[in-house]
């Protein structure tokens, strides 16, 4: 297997499932970082081994994960192409965050691939496409591309982005996509906060080994998968993965209830002075908004076997796990890419039926206030704090347009977000991070 986006979530999820498959001995993952080389640098001297700390409400369980057999930084393009051409390769998984699923027709990678499919390219779609062209030339047969990011129909999205890029690069590239890849849709779930120095000590005392990059995760895990694997795959189902024909009901349940709830708590909770999800959940105001969001979002979810009330009860337990220090600033990052997936579909469906959402617009209002310098520091390349200044009546439509061009023109939504943002600003005093407005 190849993995693109070597980070904590992958190590708590796809690598864990692969380790726990009954045929694990036949599989190994060569993992490449998405951008920064840090995790590859940390894991190389450890031969790819690391401690996974599963942190339940009552204690930790520590295991050494051995399914990652080779690690590389994003710039190791020769190694990437070598693996891509290998007859042993069967599956590529990827965790590259919401921001990587875009095709920019003006990106320099387009011209680079046109001249040389083996060119050193940076963007995720170009790295995949260059690899598929190399594989097609090598004639080593089709493989499965398995995206594992929080987007609906993530496999279809990658397929579409690759086909758009291939159309610009040329007929050989288009053929390579058709002949060498299937695209698999997935839903992934496991809360994986950043580890700290105390976790390094926990790993050492449990294993007797020094691990500079352990991973902390919660006991819950979910992987729902739909698609074809032309060259085979580990028996992940024996480790708990669910194979189905259509992941979309599961995706909507997870993206709206869990991730939408997270985004609400990240903005409103950090504005109200909280640092972690569990702390925000103890605040009755945050908890009440979370419940309102869940009522609105759940009303739109359909599909047999979703078990929504049980799912929400379990989510409350997961969010409240006091031993998981899931920081709100980590979740607040990249809101411009997350809210269109997590919040807007609920708002749009409500508007279409003439009923008026207040929890969806409350999340948008809290995001606006966050961009205006309240709560967690802003970390989003696509929505700068400089867009957020001035009177709310001007800033709100400007910011909503970043999420969806039509939203900024919906006068009812704009008016409601302005009202809710005014209330949040009134109730929470001066911004804590005024500097981020400049
Ligand atoms: C979170 C997710 O950071 C975020 O935006 O909502 O990373 C969340 O923890 C995972 O999707 C849980 O599976």
Same domain, 195 and 279: no
Q: Does residue 438 sit within a domain?
A: no
* Centre of ligand 1 from the C-alpha of residue 12, in Å: 13
* Centre of ligand 1 from the C-alpha of residue 261, in Å: 10
Same domain, 238 and 252: no
Query: Which amino acid residue places its CA nearest to atom 1 of ligand 1?
Result: 331
Same domain, 239 and 330: no
Query: Which amino acid residue places its CA nearest to atom 9 of ligand 1?
Result: 191
Same domain, 201 and 287: no
* Residue 370 in contact with ligand 1 by CB distance below 6 A: no
User: Is the sign of the CA dihedral 114, 118, 124, 125 positive or negative?
Assistant: positive
Of the residues 217, 243, 269, the one at which a domain ends: 243
Please give the chain's pLDDT, 438 residues, in tens.
999 999 999 999 999 999 999 999 999 999 999 989 999 999 999 999 999 999 999 999 999 999 999 999 999 999 999 999 999 999 999 999 887 888 889 999 999 999 998 888 989 999 999 999 999 999 999 999 999 999 999 999 999 999 999 999 999 999 999 999 999 999 999 999 999 999 999 999 999 999 999 999 999 999 999 999 999 999 999 999 999 999 999 999 999 999 999 999 999 999 999 999 999 999 999 999 999 999 999 999 988 889 999 999 999 999 999 899 999 999 999 999 999 999 999 999 998 888 878 999 999 999 999 999 999 999 998 887 678 999 999 999 999 999 999 999 999 999 999 999 999 999 998 776 544 432
* Residue 189 in contact with ligand 1 by CB distance below 6 A: yes
Ligand 1 atom at shortest distance from the alpha carbon of 338 = 5
| Mutation to probe ligand 1, out of 331, 339, 343 (largest number of atoms < 8 A from CB) | 331
Half-sphere exposure of 366 (CA within 13 A, CB side): 28
Same domain, 285 and 235: no
**Nearest to residue 269, comparing CAs of 192, 330, 195?**
330
Query: Which amino acid residue places its CA nearest to atom 11 of ligand 1?
Result: 189
Query: Which amino acid residue places its CA nearest to atom 5 of ligand 1?
Result: 331
Per-residue pLDDT, 7: 96
- Using alpha carbons only, give the angle 327, 329, 331 rounded to the nearest 5 degrees: 80
* Centre of ligand 1 from the C-alpha of residue 302, in Å: 22
Q: Does residue 32 sit within a domain?
A: yes
Q: Does residue 70 sit within a domain?
A: yes
Q: How many CB atoms lie within 10 A of CB 411?
A: 9
Of the residues 228, 243, 258, the one at which a domain ends: 243
Residue 265's domain comprises: 248-427
- C-alpha 417/C-alpha 263 separation (Å) is 16
In this prediction the pTM is: 0.94
Same domain, 51 and 187: yes
Per-residue pLDDT, 432: 60
Instruction: Record the tokens describing residue 297, joined without a space.
Output: 């979002």
Ligand 1 atom at shortest distance from the alpha carbon of 188 = 13
Same domain, 256 and 199: no
Question: Are 117 and 133 a contacting pair, CB within 8 Å?
Answer: yes
* Centre of ligand 1 from the C-alpha of residue 260, in Å: 9
- C-alpha 23/C-alpha 77 separation (Å) is 29
- C-alpha 110/C-alpha 294 separation (Å) is 42
Of the residues 243, 273, 303, the one at which a domain ends: 243
Alpha helix ranges (H) inside 258-334: 260-264, 270-271, 277-282, 284-298, 308-320, 328-332
Same domain, 230 and 254: no
The count of domains in the chain is 2
Same domain, 230 and 304: no
CATH code of residue 53? 3.40.50.720
Per-residue pLDDT, 254: 97
Instruction: Record the tokens describing residue 181, joined without a space.
Output: 């890849």
Ligand 1 atom at shortest distance from the alpha carbon of 189 = 13
* Residue 190 in contact with ligand 1 by CB distance below 6 A: yes
Same domain, 137 and 177: yes
Q: Residue 143 pairs with which residues in a beta bridge?
A: 181
Per-residue pLDDT, 199: 97
Same domain, 8 and 151: yes
Question: Are 347 and 296 a contacting pair, CB within 8 Å?
Answer: no
Q: Does residue 437 sit within a domain?
A: no
């Amino acid at each position: 297997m190849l993995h693109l986006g070597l980070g904590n979530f992958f190590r708590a999820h796809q690598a864990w499932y692969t380790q726990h498959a009954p045929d694990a001995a036949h599989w190994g993952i060569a993992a490449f970082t998405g951008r920064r080389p840090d995790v590859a640098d940390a894991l190389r001297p450890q031969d790819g081994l690391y401690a996974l700390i599963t942190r339940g409400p009552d204690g930790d369980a520590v295991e050494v994960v051995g399914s990652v057999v080779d690690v590389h930084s994003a710039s190791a393009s020769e190694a990437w192409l070598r693996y891509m051409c290998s007859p042993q390769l069967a599956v590529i998984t990827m965790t590259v965050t919401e921001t990587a699923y875009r095709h920019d027709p003006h990106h320099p990678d387009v011209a680079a691939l046109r001249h040389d499919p083996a060119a050193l390219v940076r963007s995720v779609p170009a790295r995949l496409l260059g690899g598929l062209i190399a594989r097609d030339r090598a004639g080593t047969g089709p493989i499965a591309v398995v995206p594992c990011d929080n987007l609906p129909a993530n496999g279809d999205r990658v397929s579409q982005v690759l086909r758009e890029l291939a159309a610009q690069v040329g007929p050989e590239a288009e053929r390579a996509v058709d002949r060498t890849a299937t695209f698999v849709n997935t839903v992934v779930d496991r809360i994986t906060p950043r580890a700290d120095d105390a976790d390094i000590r926990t790993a050492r005392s449990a294993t007797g080994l020094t691990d500079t990059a352990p991973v902390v995760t919660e006991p819950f895990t979910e992987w729902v998968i739909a698609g074809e694997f032309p060259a085979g795959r580990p028996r992940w189902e024996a480790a708990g993965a669910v194979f189905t024909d259509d992941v979309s009901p599961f995706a909507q349940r997870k993206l709206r209830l869990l991730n939408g709830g997270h985004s609400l708590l990240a903005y409103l909770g950090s504005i109200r002075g909280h640092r972690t999800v569990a702390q925000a959940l103890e605040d009755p105001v945050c908890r009440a908004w979370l419940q309102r969001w869940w009522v609105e979002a759940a009303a739109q979810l359909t599909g047999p076997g979703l078990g929504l009330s049980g799912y929400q009860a379990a989510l409350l337990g997961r969010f409240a796990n006091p031993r998981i220090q899931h920081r709100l600033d980590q979740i607040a990052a990249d809101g411009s890419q997350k809210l269109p997936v997590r919040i807007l579909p609920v708002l749009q469906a409500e508007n279409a039926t003439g009923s008026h959402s207040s929890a969806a617009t409350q999340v948008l209002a809290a995001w606006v206030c966050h961009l205006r310098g309240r709560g967690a520091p802003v970390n989003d390349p696509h929505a700068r704090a400089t867009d957020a200044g001035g009177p709310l009546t001007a800033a709100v439509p400007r910011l909503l347009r970043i999420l969806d061009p039509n939203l900024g023109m919906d006068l009812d939504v704009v008016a409601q977000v302005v009202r809710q943002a005014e209330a949040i600003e009134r109730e929470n005093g001066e911004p804590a991070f005024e500097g981020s407005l400049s």
